[in-house]
């Protein structure tokens, strides 16, 4: 029986650093390094650094893959990091918080913190050896003095069935409560066994299991009434959370 190979992964935002990406990749024996670059390539001054990093990693027989996210959009960075982690969930994943901007560093840490099981997530800070006078034609630092592992504290997020319901609400933008109840029942999010007074039982299950926690605990949804119909929609916090939670 052949064994399944799980590659060792590194995620590294690209700024104006080379050594702080290539040296940890070599020391941690990475198989693949995901280089997180700005999505507006024409306006990205770090493009040549990404090219140089790729050349050096190629010589080390380390594969690279470019992934794109707006370097000023925290939630987009979090979502991109999360997607890589989900893709390689069975691998050891090393996340470099020292190679990009402060927004990159926060986004990378948040990307680690939203998972229940974080044993294989290993964020680290690569301390540079030298900090020369920075100019346009040179990297910000040289060498790596020490690599510091960082802890991953859990960020509390809604349970999977709540995220599934939240996703349904987001897809519709604004949805009748009766339609949400029907879709939630169809997707197995709520379970209604009562034959007598079925519709009322379905609404009760929806309120208790889905609406109340998303509204009262998380503040991600709200309701209003138009005529005889009640509608459910995402709050601003719900819209922001939905950008990276699913």
The CATH number given to whatever domain includes residue 239 is 1.10.10.10
- The pLDDT of residue 4 is 62
- Per run of 10 residues, the mean pLDDT along the chain (length 246 residues) is 73 94 96 95 81 96 96 94 94 95 94 89 94 67 93 88 95 94 91 75 90 95 92 94 86
**How wide is the angle at C-alpha 175 spanned by C-alphas 223 and 160, nearest 5°?**
85
Model confidence, pTM: 0.81
Q: Could you tell me if 60 and 113 lie in one domain?
A: yes
Asked if the structure places residue 3 within a domain, the reply is no
Q: Could you tell me if 114 and 166 lie in one domain?
A: no
Evaluate whether 162 touches 135 at the Cβ level (below 8 Å): no
Asked if the structure places residue 222 within a domain, the reply is yes
Integer Cα distance of 193 and 208 in angstroms? 15
- The pLDDT of residue 1 is 38
Rg, the chain, Cα only: 23
Helix axes 160-172, 236-245, angle to 10 degrees: 110
| Edge-first strand listing for the sheet containing 174-176 | 174-176, 229-234, 221-226
**How wide is the angle at C-alpha 176 spanned by C-alphas 232 and 233, nearest 5°?**
20
Integer Cα distance of 90 and 105 in angstroms? 23
Asked if the structure places residue 1 within a domain, the reply is no
Residue 182: domain span: 160-245
- The pLDDT of residue 8 is 95
- The pLDDT of residue 175 is 96
Tell me the HSE value of 52 on the side-chain side, using a 13 A CA sphere. Answer: 15
Asked if the structure places residue 27 within a domain, the reply is yes
Asked if the structure places residue 108 within a domain, the reply is yes
Q: Could you tell me if 170 and 128 lie in one domain?
A: no
Give the domain CATH number at 63: 3.40.50.10770
CA nearest neighbour of 96 among 84, 87, 104, 88: 104
Of 149, 172, 194, which one is at a domain's C-terminal end?
Answer: 149
Q: Could you tell me if 53 and 80 lie in one domain?
A: yes
Q: Could you tell me if 131 and 171 lie in one domain?
A: no
Number of domains into which the chain is organized: 2
- The pLDDT of residue 136 is 55
């Amino acid at each position: 029986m052949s064994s399944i190979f799980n590659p060792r992964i590194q995620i590294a935002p690209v700024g104006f650093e080379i050594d702080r990406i290539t040296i940890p990749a070599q020391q941690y024996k990475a198989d693949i390094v995901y280089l997180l670059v700005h999505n507006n390539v024409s306006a990205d001054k770090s493009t040549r650094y990404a090219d140089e990093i790729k050349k050096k990693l190629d010589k080390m027989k380390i594969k690279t893959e470019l992934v794109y996210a707006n370097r000023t959009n925290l939630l987009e960075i979090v979502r991109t990091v999360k997607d890589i982690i989900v893709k390689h969930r069975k691998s050891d994943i090393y996340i470099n918080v020292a190679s990009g901007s402060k927004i990159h560093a926060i986004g990378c840490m948040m990307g680690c913190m939203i998972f229940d099981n974080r044993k294989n997530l290993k964020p680290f800070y690569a301390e540079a050896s030298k900090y020369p006078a920075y100019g346009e034609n040179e990297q910000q630092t040289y060498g790596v003095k020490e690599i510091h592992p960082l802890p991953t504290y859990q960020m509390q997020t809604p349970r999977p069935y709540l995220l599934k319901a939240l996703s349904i609400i987001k897809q519709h933008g604004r949805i009748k409560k009766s339609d949400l109840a029907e879709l939630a029942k169809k997707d197995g999010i709520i379970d209604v066994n009562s034959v007598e007074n079925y519709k009322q039982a379905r609404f009760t299950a929806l309120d208790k299991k889905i609406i109340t926690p998303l509204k009262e605990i998380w503040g991600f949804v709200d309701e209003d009434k138009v005529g005889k119909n009640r509608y459910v929609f995402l709050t601003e916090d719900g819209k922001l959370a939905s950008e990276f939670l699913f």
